[in-house]
Amino acid sequence: MGFLTRTQAVGVAALALGISVFLSRILGLVRDKVISYYFGAGDEADVYFTSFVVPDFLNYLLAGGYFSLTLVPLLSLVFRRDEEDGWRFFSGAVFWATLAIAVLTLAAWLAVPCLVPLVAPGFSPENQDRLALFLRIILPAQVFFLPGACFSAMLYTRRQFAVPALTPLIYNMCIIAGGLLMFFSAPHRGMEGFCWGVLAGAFLGALLLPCLAVRAGGLRFFLPRRRVLLHPDMKALVLLALPLMLGQSVVVLDEQFIRVFGSLTGEGGVSLLNYARRVMLVPVGVVAQAAGLASYPFLAALAAEKNSQAFDASLNKALSATVLVALPLSLWMVSIAHPLMRLIFQQGLLTPAEAELSGNLLAMMLIGVTFWAIQQIVGRAFYAHKDTLTPALAGTAATILALPFYYLGAVRLGPTGVALAGTLAVTFYTGILCLLWTKRFGPRGLAHIPAAAARSFVLCLPACVAAYGLTLLLPLPESSLWEALASVCGGGVAFAAVYLGLSHLLAPEVSDPLLRFGADLARRLRSGKRR
C-alpha cells in the first residue's frame, strides 16, 4: 500500500486524476462496446441501462457525487484543530452516511414492484419483470458508495490521490469481467452478470480499497456514541450538503431522463441513446470536468481573499480558455459523428442502421458540450463563494422546465427528440446560471465568453466542412470499419490543419489555448515519467 498511500504534490495529483477520468471514460466505452457487441440495441440492453435509474437517483439524492467535496474542507478544519476530535467527526460522518443510504436502499428494494412501471413506462410486462430482477441485484451497491466517499474524502484530505483515481477503473473492470464471465458460462442468463459486476465493483473499488488505504495510513474509528453522532461540526456538513441533496440539476439527471423517456421510444431506444451519450461524455470529462476541477482551488482562494477584480479576471480566463478548447473539439466530433460511432460500436449485434442512428444522436448531444463546460466552471464559481444553494435552485428549476420537452421529444421524435431535449436542457440551465451570476456579481467575470465563442465558431465552420468533405471523398466501401477509421483519423487531421492554420493567421488568441493545452499535457506526461 506504500504507493497508494503516498502524498502527491498538486501537479502530480492533477495529472493522476486527469488520467483517471480519461481512462474511466475509455473503460466506460469498452464496457458499452462489449454490451453492444453481444447484445446490440435490443430489449436486454435496454433493461440493463434502465436498471441504473433508481440506484443513481438514490446516490444523487444524498449528494453522493459531491459528498467527498463537502466533507474535505470540514475534515481539514477539524483535524487541524484536534486530531482525536477529527476522527470522532469522521466516524460520525461514516455512520450517518451508511445509515442514510442503507435505509433508502432497503426502502427502494422493497418498493421495486411499484418503481419499475415509473422508471420504464414503455417496457413490456416481460421486460419490466426483467428490470425488477436487475434492480434487486444493483440496488445494494449503493450501500458501498456513500461510506466509500467518506474514506475517499479522508484520502483527499491527506493529499493521497492514487486510490480515488483507481476507484472508477476497478468499478468498470469488475462490470466488464462479471458480464463476460457469466455470458460465457451461462449465456441463458443474459446480462445478469454485468449487474453482479456492478455489485462487486462497488464493494471492491468504492469501499474496500479506500478503507484499506485510510487504515494503512492510520485509522481510528469511534463507536457511534453521543459525542460522535451529535458532533458539533455535523450540522455544518448537513448544511453544506443539503442544497446539493435537494437540488437535482439537469446535468446530473440527464442520463436518467434518457433512460426513462427512452423507454417510450421503442426497442433499442435506451441503448442507442446510452451509446451516444457515452461517447459525448469523453470530451465532457476531459475538458469540462477537468476545467472545473482545475479552476476551483484558484477561484476559492481569491474569493476567500475577497479580491473580486482578480476573481473576475481568473474566471474570464478559465471560461475563455475552456470554450476555445471545448468548442472546436465538439464540432470536430460532430463532423465525424457517424464514422466514429461505426468505428466504436458497429460490430457484433449492432447493425449499420443502428450505428447510423446513434451517430445522429451523438451529433445532437455534442452540440451541448460547450455549455456543459461553461456550467461546470460557473457552478464552481458559486461554490467558491460558499453558495451551493443558487446552482441547486437553478438546476432544479431547469430540470422541472425540461421534463415536458423530454416527454414530447420521446413520443413525437423518438430517440432523436430525447437527445435534442437533453441538449436544450443543459443550454437552458447554463443560461440561467450565467444570468444569476451576472445579476449577483456583475458581468465582468463572463465578459469574454461571447467574443471567444464567436471567433472560434467562425473558424470552426470551414474546418468542419474540410473534415466532413474528406469523409465523402474516401475511396473505401461505405460503412466499413476501414472507412470509419480513415474518416475519423483523416477528419481529425483536416479539421486541425484548417482550424489551426486559419486561427494562426487571423486570430492567434483563438488557437493559443489549444496549443497550450497540448503542450501542458505533454509536459505533465514527461514530468510523470521522470517521477
In angstroms, the Cα distances linking 349 to 208, 322, 355 are 36, 38, 11
User: Please, which pLDDT band fits residue 356 given cuts at 50, 70 and 90?
Assistant: confident
Mean pLDDT of 154-166: 80
Sign of the C-alpha dihedral computed for residues 214, 102, 244 and 394 taken in this order: positive
387 by Cβ neighbours in 10 Å (0-12 / 13-18 / 19+) ranks as middle
Helix, strand or coil, per DSSP, at residue 218? coil
Separation CA 141–CA 199 (nearest Å): 5
In angstroms, the Cα distances linking 361 to 269, 276, 286, 354 are 10, 6, 20, 11
Specify the higher pLDDT residue, 507 or 336.
Answer: 336
Q: Is the pLDDT of residue 67 over 60?
A: yes
Q: What is the pLDDT of residues 207-226, one digit of tens each?
A: 999 999 888 878 887 777 77
DSSP assignment of 140-175 = GGHHHHHHHHHHHHHHHHTT--HHHHHHHHHHHHHH
* 74: its cell numbers: 470540514
pLDDT at 420: 95
* 252: its cell numbers: 446530473
pLDDT at 3: 46
DSSP assignment of 229-273 = HT-TTHHHHHHHHHHHHH---HHHHHHHHHHHGGGGS-TTHHHHH
pLDDT at 10: 46
Q: What radius of gyration do the chain's Cα atoms show?
A: 23
Specify the higher pLDDT residue, 320 or 109.
Answer: 109
The DSSP output letter for 479 is T
Q: What is the pLDDT of residues 358-403, one digit of tens each?
A: 999 999 999 999 998 898 889 888 878 878 778 878 888 888 889 9
Mean pLDDT of 268-273: 91
Q: Is the pLDDT of residue 24 over 90?
A: no
**Closest to 197 (Cα-Cα) out of 321, 66, 48:** 48
Q: What is the pLDDT of residues 76-103, one digit of tens each?
A: 788 888 888 888 888 888 888 899 899 9
Mean residue pLDDT across the chain: 83
Separation CA 72–CA 158 (nearest Å): 10
Could you tell me if 322 and 287 are in contact, meaning their C-beta atoms sit under 8 angstroms apart? yes
Separation CA 57–CA 62 (nearest Å): 9
Mean pLDDT of 438-451: 89
Burial 76-92, CB ≥16 within 10 A → b, else e: eebbeeeeebbbbbbbb
Q: What is the pLDDT of residues 32-60, one digit of tens each?
A: 889 999 998 889 999 999 999 899 888 77
Amino acid at 322: T
Could you tell me if 151 and 167 are in contact, meaning their C-beta atoms sit under 8 angstroms apart? no
Q: Is the pLDDT of residue 510 over 80?
A: no
Separation CA 83–CA 73 (nearest Å): 14
Give residue limits of the domains in the chain: 1-246, 250-446
Q: Is the pLDDT of residue 263 over 70?
A: yes
User: Of all residues in the chain, what percent carry a pLDDT higher than 90?
Assistant: 33
pLDDT at 531: 46
Mean pLDDT of 280-298: 71
Range in 180-194, 279-293, 391-405, 487-501 with the lowest mean pLDDT: 279-293
Mean pLDDT of 288-316: 77
Quote the distance between the C-alpha of residue 355 and its chain's center.
23
pLDDT at 245: 63
Range in 171-185, 338-352, 420-434 with the lowest mean pLDDT: 338-352
Sign of the C-alpha dihedral computed for residues 366, 370, 371 and 374 taken in this order: positive
pLDDT at 281: 83
DSSP assignment of 419-455 = HHHHHHHHHHHHHHHHHHHHHHH-SGGGTTHHHHHHH
Separation CA 148–CA 315 (nearest Å): 32
* 267: its cell numbers: 426497442
Could you tell me if 464 and 331 are in contact, meaning their C-beta atoms sit under 8 angstroms apart? yes
pLDDT at 12: 53
* 77: its cell numbers: 478544519
Q: Is the pLDDT of residue 514 over 80?
A: no
Q: Is the pLDDT of residue 136 over 90?
A: yes
User: Please, which pLDDT band fits residue 17 given cuts at 50, 70 and 90?
Assistant: low
Q: What is the pLDDT of residues 304-348, one digit of tens each?
A: 788 888 888 888 888 888 888 889 999 999 999 988 998 888 877
Q: Is the pLDDT of residue 135 over 60?
A: yes
Contacts 24+ apart (CB under 8 A), 513-521: 513/320, 513/321, 513/322, 513/324, 513/325, 514/324, 514/325, 514/328, 516/321, 517/321, 517/325
Mean pLDDT of 168-180: 93
In angstroms, the Cα distances linking 128 to 124, 218, 234, 253 are 6, 47, 41, 21
Separation CA 292–CA 320 (nearest Å): 13
In angstroms, the Cα distances linking 450 to 197, 288, 329, 368, 504 are 45, 18, 18, 16, 20
**Closest to 385 (Cα-Cα) out of 461, 440, 444:** 440
